[in-house]
């Protein structure tokens, strides 16, 4: 049976920013055979193709032409290898739900990435990370299909050219492939990573993957708004990387500035702190605002559009540039930008 094709489908509830958007056509294939069938149909019809995961790191325009595809394959399974366990998760698996069920099973590796919204298929695109851990550290393989011919391929972590919130899927392969499955390499040996923020202070002497994941959830809920209650895409700007010399000049002016030296000599700065120092935390203009507890998060109060959001974000970036000489880069992708 072919997947059901919906015409004029409302995507407002399928993006965490809650931006109003209508897709000319929408389909949610339930397996790889259906996905390949959909890709052939789009190619034959000449429809522009937009891939949609959980809609958590995405800015949607008011209309998306062509065909929007949201992979709905949502199975996962384990492959035991002594102390190591390979976790196979299809693209439609909800990331946070997977993190929690694996943490309950005592598997180490992704517990620090709890409560990151979205689906597994989107996780490698921006190399999701939180509390000192990035996806690339546990990723064993990515299975994908090429959009032009439906050809299957498998990439190792090295093939993905991962960087800070970056990957080959945002570079040379953007718009050319669809991720169908992840393979994660987790461990039964305790390997807690507690050096970020106040995470260690919330845990006892012998933390479990579950206790770490629950502590991360508690911290994130204290700082970040629930998209179900207030539209947002999580961190809207990347933490900027600047040259060591520039960081030194900024530290001379602001000794309390959070900064994180990198192996290549550059220094990562906290975008939220920079925005806060510009007096913008809690600032609202029109239908959008800067969250009053976390300046890195832009929130949608309803009724706004993608164009208004982008203009709002540009005003924030301009203020930071004028005060600190630091450029802020948007993290969420703009759907249909091609």
**Which residues participate in catalysis according to the annotation?**
165, 235, 331
DSSP 239: P
DSSP-derived letter for residue 308 is H
Please provide the size of the chain in residues: 338
Nearest CA to 237 out of 174, 171, 164, 304 is that of: 164
| Element (DSSP H or E) covering residue 130 | strand 129-130
CA dihedral 296, 299, 304, 308 (to 10 degrees): -10
Q: 């040996």: which residue's tokens?
A: 189
CB 30 within 8 A of CB 3: yes
**Residues with Cβ within 8 Å of residue 255, at least 6 apart in sequence:** none
What is the distance in angstroms between the CA of the first residue and the CA of the last residue of the chain? 31
CA distance 186 to 108: 6
User: Which pair of tokens denotes residue 278?
Assistant: 């510009």
Q: Which helix (H) or strand (E) holds 246?
A: helix 244-253
Of the candidates 137, 126, 118, 234, the one whose C-alpha atom is nearest the C-alpha of residue 170 is: 126
Type and span of the H or E element at 279: none
> Do the beta carbons of residue 142 and residue 155 sit within 8 Å?
yes
- Sign, CA dihedral 36-147-138-109, equals negative
**With helix as H, strand as E and coil as C, how does 52-80 read?**
CCCCCCEECCCEECCEEECCCCCCEEEEE
Give the CA distances from residue 316 to residues 45, 227, 321, in Å, rounded to whole numbers and listed in that order: 41, 21, 9
């Amino acid at each position: 049976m072919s997947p059901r094709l919906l015409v004029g489908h409302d995507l407002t509830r399928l993006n965490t920013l809650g931006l109003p958007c209508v897709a000319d056509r929408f389909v949610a294939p339930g397996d790889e055979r259906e996905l390949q069938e959909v890709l052939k149909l789009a190619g034959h019809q000449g429809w522009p193709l937009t891939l949609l995961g959980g809609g958590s790191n995405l800015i949607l325009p008011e209309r998306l032409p062509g065909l929007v595809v949201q992979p709905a394959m949502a199975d996962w399974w384990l492959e035991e290898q002594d102390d190591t366990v390979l976790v196979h998760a299809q693209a439609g698996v909800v990331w946070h739900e997977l993190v929690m069920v694996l943490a309950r099973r005592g598997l180490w590796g992704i517990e620090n990435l709890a409560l990151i919204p979205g689906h597994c298929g989107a996780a490698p695109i921006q190399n999701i990370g939180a509390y000192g851990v990035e996806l690339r550290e546990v990723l064993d393989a990515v299975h994908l299909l090429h959009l032009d011919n439906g050809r299957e391929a498998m990439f190792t972590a090295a093939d993905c050219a991962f960087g800070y919130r970056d990957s080959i899927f945002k570079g040379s392969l953007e718009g050319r492939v669809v991720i169908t499955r992840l393979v994660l390499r987790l461990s039964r040996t305790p390997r807690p990573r507690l050096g970020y923020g106040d995470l260690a202070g919330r845990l006892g002497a012998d933390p479990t993957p579950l206790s770490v994941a629950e502590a991360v959830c508690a911290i994130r809920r204290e700082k970040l708004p629930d998209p179900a209650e207030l539209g947002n895409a999580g961190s809207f700007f990347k933490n900027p990387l600047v040259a060591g010399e520039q960081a030194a000049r900024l530290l001379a002016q602001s000794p309390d500035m959070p900064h994180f030296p990198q192996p290549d000599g550059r220094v990562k700065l906290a975008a939220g702190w920079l925005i806060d120092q510009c007096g913008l935390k809690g600032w609202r203009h029109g239908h959008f605002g800067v969250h009053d507890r976390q300046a890195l998060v832009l929130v949608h109060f309803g009724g706004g559009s993608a164009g208004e959001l982008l203009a709002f974000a540009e005003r924030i970036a301009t203020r930071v540039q004028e005060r600190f000489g630091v450029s802020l880069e948007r993290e969420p992708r703009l759907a249909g930008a091609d």
